Amino acid sequence: MKANLLYIKRIFLLLCLQGIVCASAQEEVLKEAEKSYTQEKYIEAIEQYKEILTTYGESAEVYYNLGNAYYKANKIAPAILCYERASLMDPGDTDIRFNMEMAKQRTIDKIEPVGNFFLLKWFDLIQNMGAVDSWAKIGLVNFLLFIGCLFLFFFSRWVRMRKIGFYMGLLFLICVIITNIFAKNQKRELISHTHAIVFSPTVTVKSSPNQSGTDLFILHEGTKVLIKSTLGEWNEIELEDGNVGWMPGKDIELI
């Protein structure tokens, strides 16, 4: 028994040391990338940030920094792609959204989104104030408070306290439902990969999934599209203004 405990402790210590070494190595590479960026060596910084993503995994911070490096290097489509990916991981970060809007102003296509019902706009605005983990934690806290209110309602001797427990419990239950909806929507956006950025300088959108289809409109690099379906090497896309058509998959990069 003691031998097993000693073995477990050693494994735990090794894992902790490995985690510390990895974190230290990542921090070192990150500092090198930041140094390259401040020295205006943007191409070098891009490669270093990409190495961090490949070696240590994705993060909103690294995608944001990579987007900034692409933007400074006048590579607008990759910059927007990185900002979009960063925003998916941390939708409440105002710096990411501001820089993304700055990059989109340098694109050729100016597409006006179809107007949504104002309640849906408010819903999306509140939902984008937090990420999946944030809404999940808030939902858990509200659930625990809801349980506490149930105890107050069922076991309190005072009628006034039971009323408070009932109405506060109802409020916390509504919050649990809303935060779970937010978390579910954010998670779906994070893993669905239904949006993409146009990477080709120009691409003609067709009426059907082949080159013989009728030309509908032209898109330029940096434009965001919704992928509705895929047929072979072609994707059916939809723009924010509602226009729909087909374009080759090689001309876009999934967010």
DSSP 237: E
21 band by pLDDT with thresholds 50, 70 and 90: very low
10 band by pLDDT with thresholds 50, 70 and 90: low
User: What's residue 29's pLDDT?
Assistant: 81
User: What's residue 116's pLDDT?
Assistant: 66
Buried b (16+ CB within 10 A) or exposed e, 1-24: eeeeeeeeeeeeeeeeeeeeeeee
Assess whether pLDDT exceeds 80 at residue 26.
no
Lowest-pLDDT choice from 1-10, 206-215, 230-239: 1-10
At 156, the amino acid letter reads S
Q: What is the pLDDT of residues 151-183, one digit of tens each?
A: 999 988 898 999 999 999 999 999 999 999 999
Give the Cα separation of 167 and 176 in Å (integer): 14
Give the Cα separation of 76 and 106 in Å (integer): 7
Assigned CATH for 2-104: 1.25.40.10
What residue ranges do the domains of the chain occupy? 2-104, 118-192, 195-254
Rounded average pLDDT over 216-231: 95
Give the Cα separation of 180 and 132 in Å (integer): 9
Rounded average pLDDT over 175-202: 90
Fold of 195-254: SH3 type barrels. (2.30.30)
Assess whether pLDDT exceeds 70 at residue 186.
yes
Assess whether pLDDT exceeds 70 at residue 1.
no
Residue with the bigger pLDDT between 193 and 154: it is: 154
Write down how long the chain is.
255
User: What's residue 3's pLDDT?
Assistant: 52
Assess whether pLDDT exceeds 60 at residue 5.
no
Assess whether pLDDT exceeds 70 at residue 213.
yes
Give the mean pLDDT of the chain.
88
- For residue 3, is it left (φ>0), alpha (ψ between -120 and 50) or beta? alpha
Residue with the bigger pLDDT between 82 and 2: it is: 82
CA 149 to chain centre: 34
Give the Cα separation of 235 and 128 in Å (integer): 27
Q: What is the pLDDT of residues 112-130, one digit of tens each?
A: 887 666 677 788 878 888 8
**Which residue do the tokens 């894992």 mark?**
15
